[in-house]
Structure 1
Amino acid sequence: MLNTNFPTFKARRVNHMRRIFCVSLAGLSMMLIPTVHAQSSTNSAPAVAEQTVAAATTETALPNAGESLSAQRERGENLITGWNTTQNKEEGVKLLEAAIEKGDRRSLIILGRLYMDGQFLKRDHRRALDLFQRAAKNGDFEGVEALGETLMWDAKTPADRREAERLLNLAGTGGRGSAWTTLAYGALYDKLSSAANANYNTYVEKARALGDAQIEIVEAERLLYRASRRPNPSAAIASLEKAASGGNSEAIKYLVKLYRDGNGYNVKRNLAKARAYLKKYGTKLSSETQQQQAFLLQAAVARSSTEFSKLAHTARARTDFTSTDFQRQLYQSNQNFSIYLAQDKLREKNLYKGPLNGRATTRTMASLRDVCKTLVWKGNCDKKILSDRSLAAIIAN
């Protein structure tokens, strides 16, 4: 029976969605604050649309005197999301649209992502596509790639798949190697048309030609799980070692992680091998990344509450402690330590009164569920509350 660590389509999609939604909302998504509800006041303006959930602020859609385009863009986005201000989506959209009219390309991407995602504005892929294609005409293909990726993983019809392929090919031709990597993933997991699925090798070559490091992970996963429907872990390791020798940081981290955690399928956890890989290839990583990988290996062997307490002090001092990616890796390395950090975080906020033991007790699970309901970006909490995604959302705030 296949272990749940197998990189299923659902897991693959989660990783991709997390990677593409990288505007400043990513930081906001981690904040533990109560959900904002509409309020009425004798001094407040009437609701301007069903999406407006707070009374209007004194800010208006008019740019401030001497305000730069970047400041106007940031203010518009903050009004839409309610970040550090009272939420007013209509005014925020007007500010971004005004910045776009002045030629601000970044506002095209930010507003397009907000329409594409549908968390703060009503999802509108047509509007997002229009904005992204305008940006592409100006040489910025980030948006068309993001929409193509979203359509690829969510495709329900052949037309969706064709449009995803069109947008990703457009982005790849525009110089974004990650778009070719996404197409390779799509071909690997049968998310494209039959003709496009057959182009896997072409996508790999194009991604490599543009230097996208992630493509080596796609190829390794093909060999680990899907090579001719018969896995070949030895070939996968050899492929990763070759890429690691060439300085591919993604391949180095993947090798360390593969043996640090195991994959629950055809590679067993082997901390000695993980340490050996870090020692062999670590000098090719940045000093910060080396330290992060060393810490994750240290965390992997912690077992007692006393060890967790000492390790937590070191973890909180790390500059990447609030990184979602780091917290997710920490969960995969040592689930109990991740639970301990969540318990500690919630106790600081008086949201958990149980012991700090790293165990998924009834009291712990109840507190985790309650807190997940308050996250602005609720998508970060899986239905399965005890997951790397949910714990990372709670800890990294």
Structure 2
Amino acid sequence: MNRVLILHYHEIWLKGGNKNYFLSRLRAAVKLSVADLPVRSLESISERLVLTPEDEGAIPVLLERLRRVFGLAYIALARKVASPLADLAPAACAMMAENPPRNFAVRAKIADSAYGMNSMGLERALGRAILDDLRSRDPSIQVKLNDPEVTCWVEIVPGKAFLYRERVEGPGGLPAVTGGRLVTLLSGGFDSAVAAYKMMRRGCHVIFAHYFGPPSGGRNSSRGVAEEIVRTLTPYQFTSRLYLLPFDAVQRQIVAGAHESFRLLLYRRMMARIAREIAKVEKGMGLVTGDSVSQVASQTLHNLAAIDHGLDLPVYRPLAGDDKAEILKLARRIGTYRISCEPFEDCCPRFMPRAPAIFAHPEQLDRAEAGLDIEKLVGMGLEGASAVDFKFECGAVTAHEALPPRFQNFLARRKGVAGQAAAPGEASARP
């Protein structure tokens, strides 16, 4: 068999002394992604990974899996041939003759210092051989160096060469689980799913927190939508955890105790506080939201600053400068668009104010929630939590619902601290 998959990375080149760490994580991700498929070998050859399939029939599935491996710039289905020009030229001519283009170019990369030609000389020699061969059947075929219909790529490495004419774009970025852990506030809409993907693409391992309310008006609860989004994103990072947090009781307390115009901002403040507690349990280094600056009233710069005020974790907003069209385009590409189109009952629009504040200051929100028992509300948001663990393995995602023991222990400790804090007051109230 002479068909191989060439896996190219680009950003890992910039890692200097840490490059080997990132390469080892990339190799591990590739192996995990195709663990159940017939693969003969995975080699590192001259700054590229070369995967040799055991069965050419598995190539379409291999390509589909590898397209989701963060760190890969592109994947090429190549022919492995001998590197001397006398062997290379006939193989290149045969490849280009299978589906002759109207015009073409040749591009060469040489990673063998002992090779007898430079890249420009090899491009010219192969280009002439291919042109003569194709014109023997169609005299109208031309060489076109800028924007050709087809490019014949040749890569020379010690002892062999790789030829290909098509390559599949990879997701780029950095290998999965190389950049720390973050908690994403997942709504079920387009934006937060795309935000999670963009942070996963930077090597972050994302834990998801979804707040839901009771369904009403014939619409479904957002829980199912959130679970389906996480299921779709899990193959990119191999394992995921989704916390499901009932928010209706917290919302009602805010509605009863705060001014209407600040209601939505206080919802979001409270969600961030609850997510911060989850981050403590999960060793998260920050929060992620799907905010795009000024897309809606709660996402003005003033309001975002007011919401974040007092948090002791950074909040990452990877969509801050994106418009809706860009977000939807990426949602379609990663597979979450269709899911987010499903009708569901989101908790944030519940008890929506008629005129939400758009230029709130932190001090205004502090005063608006002064009558609320913040710690009690955070506890209410956490106590009803459930969790679902997702795992991508052998081409499928499995789900298992179970609240992690460390989260249960964390809740028990919180209750114990709250009980101790309440005890002096209770004692002083006794006659």
State the TM-score, normalizing by the size of structure 2. Answer: 0.21
Greater fraction strand: 2
Greater fraction helix: 1
State the TM-score, normalizing by the size of structure 1. Answer: 0.22
